[in-house]
Each structure stands twice: as structure tokens, then as C-alpha cells.
């Protein structure tokens, strides 16, 4: 058993083997190593939070007006620190921070990170899977980081990552080289390649949506969800990363549509929809806002919300056709 585990490639072995051959990715391996380091720290904190009395909130709210949990702040501070220390990051935008953290404009600082450091906040206190999400863009050449560097479509990402802290801790990385999943080894805490070249299985079996919002949706969205009900089983964790991860590995569609009170839905374009859309497309899936392919959308604000329909391409397309939406097949 041990021999099998330790023979699996570590994240560092994978990134130094694959990314080093392409100058486009110079330094990205250090950014990914920093994310892995931060994830190890956050995972340890999440596991021990109740024992350390670190569950719950001090009552503060973030830029979205949502209550910030102690672990949200810990995760945000941890990832900002490790990403700064990597030496390759110019700027970090984050769900929990109003304004972008500008790290520096050095020659090596060529990446911009948009992150949700701890996704699924409402599940923190009840031992249900949560996660972290990262979109990675390259800084434009020369000069300080500007809004034009930060507000760029998801199509310009060079990589995207999420980590799910569940019954195991898994880091999923998408680059032009495809989608790879690394599981944290409980012995030495290294991430090892366990899910190579992930493709969303053709057999869709699951739909994931907050059915409690049903009567807030417009008629077309209701019709689309009724049609999914008739065909598939409902699975909804309420942590985007956990719902997305299950559907990526097993086949499925996830929806967070707009509704009467929140026409743009709940999820954020830059650090929730864009990274997961990038991963979904590289795994053969699709992601739409209902009217646009997610990766085509020109962002207007760092914290803007967007409806999200993501998963198996054919089911996303058939769902959109009932919602009268489109998925522009410019994607993969």
C-alpha cells in the first residue's frame, strides 16, 4: 500500500515536469506550491477549529455584506501570505478583501490571483466539505498592476485550482495540459497525483441546485429544473467546491440561477464562476451564465455576481435551451 502511494507523482514533480517546458508558465510552479502550502495549513486549521475554539464569527461582514467566519479570515490571511512569499505574484483579489492586495511589480511577479479562500462558509461549523478556489491570470507586461490587469475575462486565465477539504483533501489543477487531481497524503501531507487527466463522465446522473429557491425563479428556470428532476437525482451540499467536485468526477450539472430577489444569483464571477468554468471546459464540460459563456464575460467589478450553470456540456446545453439561454460553443 505504502509503495503504491509514495510512487505517485507529487504536485511538485508534476508541475516541474510539465510546466517547466513552456516559458509561458515560468514561475507558475512556485505559485501552485504556495497554494498547496496554504491548503495544508488551512486544512489543519479546519480540522482543529472546534477544538481550538475557532468556529463561528466575530460578527464582522465582508464587502458582500456576508458574515465573516473566523476561518474565512484565517484562510484569507494564510493564502495572501504564502502567495506573497512565492515571489511570483503581483496582485491578489479575494472574496474577503474589499480592494486588491498589490504585492509588487517586480519582473518575476507575473501572476494575478483571484480567490475565494474558504468557500461554503455556512458548512464550516457543521463538519461538511468546504473548499478554496483560485483563478490565475498573467499580469500584462510592464508597469504597475492596473484595473485592466484585474478585470479580464476568464478565458485569459492560465490556470485554475480548487481545493476541497472533505473526507480527503483534494487539489484539482487545470492548465492547458488538462485537469489533474492531487490528494493530500495524510502521512507526509504532500499532494500526490491520484486523478490524472480528469474528463467529466458522459453519463450525467445528478443535478445540483438549491430547490428552496424554486418559487423565486422565473417560469423558464422552473421548467428547466423540473426537467432535470425528471431525469436525474438531486445532490446539493451547499458548498460550491464540493458540489462541483462530485459532478466533475461523476457527471452532473450544477445551477445557481438568478431569481426575483437576486437577478445575478449569488456566486461571484471572478473567483467562483471563472476558475470553475475554466476547469469544467478543460474537462470537456461547459459553463454559462444563461446568456453568455462564462469565460467570455468581460468583468465589470471584482466582486460582481453571476448566474452559473455548469457541468456536462450536453446537459448544460439542453438546460439552457429550456431556459432560452445559449452556450456559445467557442469553448473547447
According to the binding rule CB under 6 A, does residue 238 interact with ligand AHM? Answer: yes
Per-residue binder mask for ligand AHM (CB under 6 A), 250-289, x = binder: ------x---------x-----------------------
According to the binding rule CB under 5 A, does residue 119 interact with Mg ion? Answer: yes
d(CA 63, CA 58): 15
d(CA 2, CA 192): 13
According to the binding rule CB under 5 A, does residue 116 interact with Mg ion? Answer: yes
d(CA 113, CA 89): 7
d(CA 244, CA 280): 9
Please report how close the Cβ of residue 130 comes to Mg ion at its closest, in angstroms: 9
- How remote is the C-alpha of 12 from its chain's centroid? 20
According to the binding rule CB under 6 A, does residue 296 interact with ligand AHM? Answer: no
The dihedral through the CA atoms of 148, 153, 154, 159 has a sign that is negative
Q: Which residue's CB is nearer to ligand AHM, number 21 or number 214?
A: 214
According to the binding rule CB under 6 A, does residue 239 interact with ligand AHM? Answer: yes
CB 90 within 8 A of CB 103: yes
According to the binding rule CB under 6 A, does residue 192 interact with ligand AHM? Answer: no
According to the binding rule CB under 6 A, does residue 121 interact with ligand AHM? Answer: yes
Q: Which residue's CB is nearer to Mg ion, number 119 or number 190?
A: 119
According to the binding rule CB under 6 A, does residue 155 interact with ligand AHM? Answer: no
Cβ contacts of residue 170 below 8 Å, gap of 6+?
Answer: 163, 164, 181, 182, 183, 184, 194, 195, 245
In the list 210, 222, 227, 291, the residue contacting ligand AHM (rule: CB under 6 A) is 210
Which does residue 153 touch among ligand AHM, Mg ion, none (CB within 5 to 8 A, set by kind)? none
DSSP 292: S
d(CA 58, CA 70): 7
According to the binding rule CB under 6 A, does residue 120 interact with ligand AHM? Answer: yes
CB 295 within 8 A of CB 236: no
Binding segment toward Mg ion, per CB under 5 A, in 52-60, 101-109, 116-124, 301-309:
116-124
Using CB atoms within 10 Å of the CB of residue 85, give its burial: 0 to 12 exposed, 13 to 18 middle, 19+ buried: middle
Residues that bind ligand AHM (CB under 6 A): 66, 95, 116, 119-122, 210, 238-240, 256, 266
Residues that bind Mg ion (CB under 5 A): 116, 119
Amino acid at each position: 500500500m505504502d509503495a503504491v502511494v509514495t510512487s505517485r507523482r507529487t504536485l511538485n514533480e508534476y508541475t516541474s515536469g510539465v510546466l517547466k517546458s513552456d516559458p509561458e508558465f515560468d514561475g507558475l510552479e512556485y505559485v501552485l506550491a504556495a497554494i498547496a502550502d496554504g491548503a495544508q495549513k488551512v486544512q489543519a486549521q479546519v480540522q482543529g477549529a472546534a477544538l481550538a475554539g475557532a468556529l463561528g464569527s466575530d460578527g464582522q461582514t465582508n464587502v458582500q455584506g456576508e458574515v465573516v467566519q473566523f476561518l474565512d479570515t484565517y484562510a484569507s490571511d494564510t493564502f495572501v501570505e504564502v502567495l506573497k512569499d512565492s515571489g511570483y505574484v503581483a496582485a491578489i483579489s479575494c472574496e474577503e478583501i474589499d480592494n486588491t492586495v498589490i504585492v509588487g511589480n517586480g519582473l518575476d511577479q507575473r501572476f494575478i490571483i483571484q480567490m475565494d479562500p474558504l468557500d461554503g462558509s455556512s458548512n464550516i461549523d457543521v463538519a461538511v466539505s468546504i473548499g478554496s478556489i483560485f483563478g490565475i491570470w498573467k499580469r500584462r507586461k510592464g508597469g504597475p498592476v492596473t484595473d485592466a490587469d484585474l478585470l479580464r475575462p476568464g478565458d485569459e486565465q492560465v490556470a485554475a485550482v480548487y481545493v476541497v477539504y472533505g473526507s480527503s483533501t483534494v487539489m484539482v489543477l487545470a492548465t492547458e495540459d488538462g485537469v489533474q487531481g492531487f490528494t493530500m497524503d495524510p502521512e507526509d501531507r504532500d499532494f500526490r497525483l491520484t486523478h490524472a487527466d480528469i474528463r467529466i463522465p458522459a453519463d450525467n446522473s445528478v443535478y445540483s441546485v438549491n430547490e428552496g429557491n424554486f418559487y423565486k425563479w422565473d417560469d423558464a428556470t422552473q421548467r428547466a429544473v423540473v426537467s432535470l428532476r425528471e431525469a436525474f437525482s438531486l445532490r446539493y451540499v451547499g458548498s460550491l467546491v464540493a458540489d462541483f467536485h462530485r459532478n466533475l468526477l461523476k457527471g452532473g450539472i450544477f445551477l445557481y440561477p438568478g431569481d426575483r430577489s437576486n437577478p445575478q444569483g449569488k456566486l461571484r464571477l471572478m473567483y467562483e464562476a471563472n476558475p470553475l468554468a475554466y476547469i469544467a471546459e478543460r474537462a470537456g464540460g461547459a459553463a454559462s451564465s444563461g446568456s453568455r459563456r462564462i469565460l467570455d464575460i468581460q468583468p465589470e467589478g471584482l466582486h460582481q455576481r453571476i448566474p452559473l450553470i455548469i457541468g456536462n456540456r450536453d446537459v448544460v446545453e439542453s438546460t439552457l435551451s429550456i431556459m432560452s439561454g445559449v452556450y456559445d460553443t467557442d469553448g473547447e
